[in-house]
Amino acid sequence: MSSSDIFTTYMSKKITRSHTSLIDAAKPLIKAGEKTSLVTKMSLGIIKHIGTGKPSLKFHPITGGIKAVVRGNTTIQELYFYTQETDTVIEILTESFPLSN
């Protein structure tokens, strides 16, 4: 199992408490969301086991913010970032994702 398949519990004042499991590939995004005042709340979505592939990051607009779909080597997780500055937050999150550099 690769490092991007490891699940951890992640706590933050901005994260809703309904779900706290996080794949390693998503950690940089959550840390970036914590640091910026543009993100008011974050929610961790479900984790799905999928076939082997390359890590990636995609964004989708939602009411009140953005949904980020983070793929690790064998897992995928949805993250929700609530903000009024979606374009700026997408830039911040993209820069924090290791494969975007």
16 vs 43, 57, 62, 74, CA distance in Å?
5, 21, 17, 25
- Give the structural domain span for 28: 3-100
State how many domains the chain has.
1
- Token pair 């490891």: residue: 6
Q: Residues 30-69: pLDDT tens digits?
A: 999 999 999 999 999 989 999 898 999 999 999 999 999 9
Please indicate whether residue 3 or residue 37 has the higher confidence score (pLDDT): 37
Q: Please tell me whether the overall predicted TM-score, pTM, comes out greater than 0.85 for this model.
A: no
Give burial (CB, 10 Å; 0-12/13-18/19+) of 43: middle
Alpha helices by DSSP H, the chain:
27-35, 86-96
Which one is predicted more confidently, 6 or 84?
Answer: 84
Q: Which two tokens mark 20?
A: 């706290």
Q: Sign of the CA dihedral 12, 15, 18, 20?
A: negative
